[in-house]
Structure formats: C-alpha cells, structure tokens
Amino acid sequence: MCYAGQCQTCRRLNELSRLPIIWIEACHSQILSKGYPFPRCSLQELPQERLETLTRRAYRLAQRWLNQYHNVNLDSGRKPSLSSFSSSSSTSPSSLFPNKECKFSVSPSAPIADVRFIEGFEERFLLTVSKGIWSVITIWDVAEALESLSGQGSRNGDSKSTATSYRERRPTTPRKCCEWSPKGGLFTGLTLNSDLESEAKLAVSVAFESGQQIQLMNLSTDGQLSPICSIDVAMKPMTLEGDFIAMSDDLAQTTIYNWKTGDYAILKHLQDQEGVWKQDHCIQVVFAHQSILVVRARSVHLFPQPVLRPASVNAPVYLPIARHTFGWIDGVSVVPPSRIRPEVKAMGTTFPATGGYGGGLEPRHDFDDGYSESASRDSFDLPPPLTLLVRLQSDNPWTADEHSLDLYALMPSADAAVKSISRYDESNESQVRVLNRSHTHQPPPSVLATTPTLTVDADTVIPTLSDASATLSSSSSPPLTIPPPPTPYLFPPILTSRILSIRGSLRCTDVVLGPCRTAVWIRPHDRSLGGLIDDSLNGLTMMGMGGLMGVGSSQNVDGGDSFNNERSKEGLVCAVFPGPLCPSTSHGARMSSSSSSTGSTGSEDWIGGVSTMSVNGGDGEKGERDSDGGVRMMWMNELNNWTTLDYYEAMGRIALGSGDGYVTVLEL
C-alpha cells in the first residue's frame, strides 16, 4: 500500500517474493518460454538476488525492443545528452537510445583492434586488444561502472533516486583486471570459448619473427589470464568449443583440433583462383548439426562432421558437402547453435521464410567417435535453421547501385531423417561410409510440405560422388580423402529479409547477429557528401537507412545543412528481424488488431517472399508508421573512427573500439 507518498510491502509478501522458486518460475514463464534474451547460466545455481536482477533486466530489455516508440530510459527516465545525439534524432520514433554510456581510455597511443564481451563470470568482463608496437590484451571489469550510471539494484524501483544517481553520482571507470602481451609478438586472431565450463577460455594466435603459434589461455574469476598450452601452427583460431578448436588459413584449409588429445582432421576445398585472387580469408567457422560451416570472404562451404585421428595417423582430408558464394563480402554473422539456450528447444523449429522464429537445439559434437548415440534415435526432429546476416562489400567508390544487409537461412534437409553413420576401419585405415538402413523411413508429411524445393544456381555447387572421385584422382592431397556425404542443410541459402543501406568506407565492417535475431552494425557516412558521386545517381542516398530520413520527421529532404551533417557521421544501427523480439511476430494477435485499426503495415514490405526493411522518412502519421520496420539508429560518431564492434544480446550491451584508443560501452 502507499501512504504519504511512500510505498510499503507486507513483510510476509516481501519474504515470499524473495524465494528462489518464485524467480525461477518467473524467469521460465516470462522470459525463457517467450524466447527473450537471457544469459547462458543455470537458474538453480544463481543466488536469489542475482536471479531476480537478471530476470528484471531481461524483461526490461525485451520491452525496449518490443515497444517501438519508447525512447527514454525505462529505469530512470533519463534522456540522452545532446552531445551524443542530434536534436532531431531525440524525437525519432525509430531510435533506440542506450540507457547507459561508459567511455574509457585503453591506450591513447594505440588503436583498438578488437573488443569482446566474455560470457559467464556474472557477465562482468570485457576483453580489449590494442595494437601499438606490440599487441596487448586487457581484461576489464565493466559491471560496476555500468551499475553506477543508473543506480540499478533498487528493489522498489524508485525512479526519483535512480534519476538522481545518474546526475549526482560520478560514473566510475571500468577496473583493469590484467594485461597480457607476448614480447615481440603481434596478435593475428582471437576467439572465445562457447563452452562456459571449459578450462580454456580463449585462444589467440601470435606472430613472432621465428614463427606463429596459437596460445590457449584460462581466465580466473578475478580476471587474471594464465597460459595453458601453445600450438605451433601458422593458422588463426576461428572457433573454440570445449576441447575442440577450429583453425583456418587464408586460402582453403580448416583444421579441427582437440587440444587435449592432439587428434585432428582437415577440411579443405579446391581453389578456383590463382595468384593474389586465391586469397579467401576465413570469417567464421560454425559447428552445426552433423556438419561444419566455414564462411570465408568469397565462399561458404559446408563440410561433414569429421572423425578426428591421432597425429601419428595420416589424417583424412574432408571435402565440402556444398558450396555457395555471395560474392565479396565485408562481414557475416552466423548464430552458432551452441550459443542458444537449451530452453529454446521447447519452442520447436519453424522456418524463417514464413516469419517464424527458429528455435535452438544443443548440438553434440562427438568428433572422436564419429557417431553419436543421440543421433541414432528413431526421430524426425529437424535441427534449427542456420541464420546468416551478410554484409556485401560496400566500399567500391565507383558503384552507385543500392547496398543492403541480407538475412539468409540454411534450412535443414528432410534427408536428415535418413541417418548416416561414418565408421573408421582400423584394419586398412580407410574410411567406409555405412548407411543405417534400420532408420531409413519417410519423414512425416508435414516435414515434406514445409521443406522448400530449391534449385541450385550458378553461385551454388553441391558435389556428387563422381565429382569427388575426379577430385581424388587429380588432387595432391593426402591419400585418405573422404567423399562428400549428403548435406544436412539445403543449399543455396534462402533470402528472408533485406535491410537497405548505403555504400561507404568503414574501418569496422563487422555485423553481429544475436540468437534472438537482433543485430547491430556500423552504417558508413554518406560518400556522396565528399563529391565522388552525385545524389541523383543514388536514390538510396535520400531514402531509407542511407539518408537517415527516419531520424526526425522535420528532416530536409533537399539536403539541408542539418541533414547533411547527420549523413556525414558514422552511425550505430540496430535491427530486429522476425523473432521473439519483433513486435509483428511476437505479439501476432495484438499487432494484427492494431494494424487493422490503423491500416498500417509499417516499412516491412514483402517482395517475392523477402522482407525488405528500412527507416523511411515522412511527416506526421506516415513517418511514424514507416518506422515499424525494426531498424533503428542508435548512436552517431562525429569522428568516424570506429575500428571494432561487439554485441552481447543477452545483456543488451554494445562495445565500440576506436582509433584513438578509447572504448565506449553502451547498455540498452
């Protein structure tokens, strides 16, 4: 009850609300069952206070994404400072303002080469890589600094005290936990372990004058790094999942290696270019369902799940199951199945092409056995689709056509119902593929009906056994080479959504896609302002995300000084694709009713089955309706010097590194 402006709670009710079972049930019913972002941790092992804090935070974060027009801090009512936003953007219905901003200096003399949020450890740590004369890894504790900005933790949610705390309490600088720098070495690659319980938390490749090596390191609860072992190999670490590390070169080879046992396997595709054009640097390696997806700058290859062999044995070379190319790409982000919470299994698997949300299944990688008992179940449950957010090369100064970021889906194949087992024959050291005929059943009619029929085009190649035989006879690879089995995913990828953007030069071309289908990236400043291309040659310069027409309804379409000033800055853009945080799909009945009453369909247009989104401009009612597409301008950078980006969807945090040695951490 409330008396004299003071709210009071019954003592017994207060004690009841602090029981762990209450918040476990609240988290399951209000967060996990709806697919909202939540850290990958065991609810039963969390202290009650921590569980309550995370549940409240997750609910507030989900509401910020779902509420299209809520532009102020849900906790304190604080509005963003004018130094961070233009006056016009502060009234935009399509903006998503961060609740908190924490900017600190890492190394004034060295640009920031990489920033990474470290999962686990109560979500406290941020890793930065600065490159000066030598490379330096620094671990920061950012949790205390972020909490000091808004005074979160007040159970009663006193908005007055929280708002006052931001204005009166001086924000603290993130605490530096440790630094690690190998003498005379430069970092060439880094990856974090997706298995939160694994001993090795990160792998970093270091180049010395004498050669290259990959260093595996542990991270203690107080943020101290300690080396575990090193691998002498001239490759970059791309993925670390438990004891398995995926290492790739810049040409055609990826090695899967068990760093504890030394067992390994080689994945390799044929190179179709010579000279300098054969460079095809690796961007991401994903341990998918019974396969491994290798994404490179010019190609995407799907390999079968390999069998790891000891170093004393001539390891087999696995050929790709399927290949696709998007052309030259600047960035791509694929959500690994291992980063999706197990509770999402209950949501089932649907197809993104119909606007649904693909649930996640925890994969099981038994590389050493080559066959998992869990895969032998007589079941037709398909794995979740693989979602790829692709950013094509955008800095060609002579290209005036439109630019976009495209969301693709690799759909699971119905042929996955026909179980295939690989068995290694120790007697003659040859690989024999044995089909498990006892599980050769027809999939249910529903699966056949929902699996699209795809036609392989000029950009997609699915090798046959005859192609593999020809490869074996002409290849100089080791003699033990595995022909490609049937693919567990359908190629080519299906284009499901498209976001219009502009072309321009960027130092940070990264795109980050979260498991709940929210994404962030950097939008370049408009290159036409430099005089290289006339506005009349590029329609997107004055529309959609490119022209920032959605940032304020009073923008001058003719290109006034204020409008050109905004277009001259880099921008941090966030987007929400069809999924649990998209209003048009998460609250179907309510949104359908709302749309029918207003006659609004938003800026999400369906053309040929593809959702095309942008932040289109306009005045009055039309401008508000056009902002419903889920693409929002979040932050602007007057210096245009962002160099790296990371996004932790479960906590709503974004880290931006810049060329002047500063890091900015934003929290939604």
* Matching residue, tokens 């999706």: 340
Among 66-70, 394-398, 473-477, the minimum mean pLDDT is found in 473-477
Contact indicator for 83, 90 with CB cutoff of 8 Å: no
Residue 425 has pLDDT above 50, yes or no: no
Host H or E run for residue 662:
strand 662-667
Host H or E run for residue 181:
none
In percent, how much of the chain has pLDDT > 90?
Answer: 43
Q: Any idea what DSSP says for residue 174? A: P
Strand ranges, E, within 380-477: 386-392, 403-410, 420-425, 430-435, 460-461
The length of the chain in residues reads: 668
Find residue 371's DSSP bridge partners.
Answer: none
Q: What is the DSSP string of 90-140?
A: GG-TT----SEEEEEES-TTS-EEEEEEPPSGGG-EEEEEEESSSEEEEEE
Q: Any idea what DSSP says for residue 224? A: -
Amino acid at 211: G
**Residue 317, burial from CB neighbour count under 10 angstroms (0-12, 13-18, 19+):** buried
What confidence score (pLDDT) does residue 34 get?
A: 93
Q: What are phi and psi of 199, to 5 degrees?
A: -70, -45
In this predicted model, what pLDDT tens digit does every residue of 625-635 receive, in sequence order? 233 457 888 88
Q: Any idea what DSSP says for residue 352? A: G
Return the higher-pLDDT residue of 509 and 8. Answer: 509
Residue 457 has pLDDT above 70, yes or no: no
The reply to whether CATH 2.130.10.10 applies to domain 67-667 is yes
**Residue 505, burial from CB neighbour count under 10 angstroms (0-12, 13-18, 19+):** middle
What confidence score (pLDDT) does residue 160 get?
A: 41
Residue 190 has pLDDT above 90, yes or no: yes
What confidence score (pLDDT) does residue 616 get?
A: 38
Amino acid at 165: S
Q: How far is CA 229 from the centre of its chain?
A: 28
Return the higher-pLDDT residue of 619 and 501. Answer: 501
| Peptide bond connecting 492 to the previous residue in cis, omega within 30 degrees of 0 | yes
CATH 2.130.10.10 residue ranges of the chain are: 67-667
What confidence score (pLDDT) does residue 294 get?
A: 97
What confidence score (pLDDT) does residue 475 get?
A: 45
Helix runs in 456-587, H state only: 465-474, 544-547, 561-567, 583-586
What confidence score (pLDDT) does residue 58 get?
A: 96
Q: What are phi and psi of 132, to 5 degrees?
A: -115, -125
What confidence score (pLDDT) does residue 248 get?
A: 96
Q: What region, left, alpha or beta, does residue 564 occupy, with left being phi > 0 and alpha being psi -120 to 50 degrees?
A: alpha
Interval 378-400 mean pLDDT: 72
For residue 304, what pLDDT band results from cuts at 50, 70 and 90? very high
The structure's pTM equals: 0.77
Q: Any idea what DSSP says for residue 541? A: G
What confidence score (pLDDT) does residue 435 get?
A: 28
Residue 90 has pLDDT above 60, yes or no: no
